[in-house]
Amino acid sequence: MTTTRSSLRRLASAVEPGPDAVGTARTIVIERVEPELDGGRYPAKRVVGDWLTVSADIIVDGHDLLGAALLIRADDEPEWREVRMRAGRHDRWSGRVRLTRNRWHRYTLEAWRDEVASWSDRLVRKARAHGPIAVELAHIFRGLGSQVHQVHRGEQVLRGFDEDVRAAVTRGLSARGIELHLGQTVVAAARAGAALTVRLAGGAELEVDALLAATGRRPRTAGLGLAEVGVELGERGQVLVDEESRSSVPSIYAVGDCTDRFNLTPVAIREGQAVAEALFGGRPSPVDYDQVPTAVFSLPPAATIGLTETEARARHGEVDVFRSSFRPLRHAMSGRDQPTLMKVIAERGSGRLCGIHMVGDDAPEIIQCLAVAFRMGATKADLDATMPIHPTAAEEFMLLR
């Protein structure tokens, strides 16, 4: 799918820094992006040299964007400069541009989707609960012998993951006997004796013993006095921080789930390390959220690092996609129908890897090892030149053509 500029539409209002911002840059965190061009000012979080960094959570009518751009110009410049924004996970888009010294600047955001897609009248921030916990618990209860119904409001589970991964995990749920109710939400639940009747938006009713709502978590920051000392909080109660985890109060830092960025234990540990290294070691090293390996412990498990195919095409334009779906040798003898999916996305021309995805046995272990090469800037040619171990599932990554 190609990006079409005919459907480009402004999403945020221009902002003019005050006199104290001359020759400086500001990090802006936009909590809600509106389609109007006028009105609304977004708070500057920190002065960072001569660079302007803007990050925003953007979603349109439940669909992913194909591209976003930061437009900027100094007041005495007739033309806008356009900088493509980077697509991260959970609809986070970010852009960074050097400012012209001793000039006031105006900037705005643009975002676009394929021209055949319809726009909603209002943009809202995507919820952080994308379904991994629901998928994992569904498999756990099914494995214990329960009859499981999984209700999901999307057309496939695991929103935010690569589409091929989502499809493979969805098939895995059905193959295990988990009854999926896609495109549905729970609108009511009532207890009648030992049974619980759950009514769905489409009118169907399910009689179950228990209802588990995997709706995610909110940062538990209430009552800590953060607002009283000037720490700015988001609409979910999360502490708003810049790329170095500094809050709006320069002496207060926040890491982990209370910032609602990438809610994984290893990420929180790395964020804490980065803060310590910057404060006490003089080695600023912001966490790169584009290089966080992620796993979903479904059956079979899924793991990924880097961009989805949609994100890669939005950021790099032309990309090369290599995929394979096969039955591992261990299942060929037993006749078990559990295929493995492998997918590699590389930049066109340079061949640098920008996304690696897998659904199959040992996927988290394999992707964890590949994450080292990914972080070091490995190319598709590097994979091709690596001698495979046979017979293994991982060798398929070296044989993709």
pLDDT of residue 104: 64
Sheet hosting strand 105-112, strand order edge to edge: 9-10, 105-112, 67-74, 81-84
What are the residues facing 239 on neighbouring strands? 233
Q: Are 239 and 226 a contacting pair, CB within 8 Å?
A: yes
Instruction: Count other Cβ atoms within 10 Å, centred on residue 9.
Output: 11
Nearest 5°: phi and psi at 185?
-135, 155
Superfamily of domain 227-289: FAD/NAD(P)-binding domain (3.50.50.60)
Q: What are the CA-CA distances from residue 209 to residues 143, 200, 204 (Å)?
A: 17, 16, 17
Nearest 5°: phi and psi at 121?
-80, -15
Q: How confident is the model over 94-150, as pLDDT tens digits?
A: 666 666 655 666 666 666 544 333 222 222 222 222 368 899 999 998 888 888 999
Residues of the chain with pLDDT under 50: 1-49, 60-64, 113-130
pLDDT of residue 153: 87
CATH level 3 topology of 293-399: Enolase-like; domain 1 (3.30.390)
pLDDT of residue 20: 34
Which of 63, 152, 331, 390 does the annotation list as catalytic? 390
Under CATH, which number does the domain 132-208 receive? 3.50.50.60
pLDDT of residue 261: 87
Reply yes or no on whether 139 is catalytic: no
Q: Give Cα 49 to chain centroid, integer Å.
A: 28
* Closest residue by Cα to residue 99 from 42, 45, 25: 25
CATH level 3 topology of 5-112: Immunoglobulin-like (2.60.40)
pLDDT of residue 213: 87
Cα distance between residue 160 and residue 90, in whole Å: 6
Predicted TM-score (pTM) of the model is 0.67
pLDDT of residue 53: 65
pLDDT of residue 98: 67
Indicate if 227-289 has the same CATH topology as 5-112: no
Domain boundaries, the chain: 5-112, 132-208, 227-289, 293-399
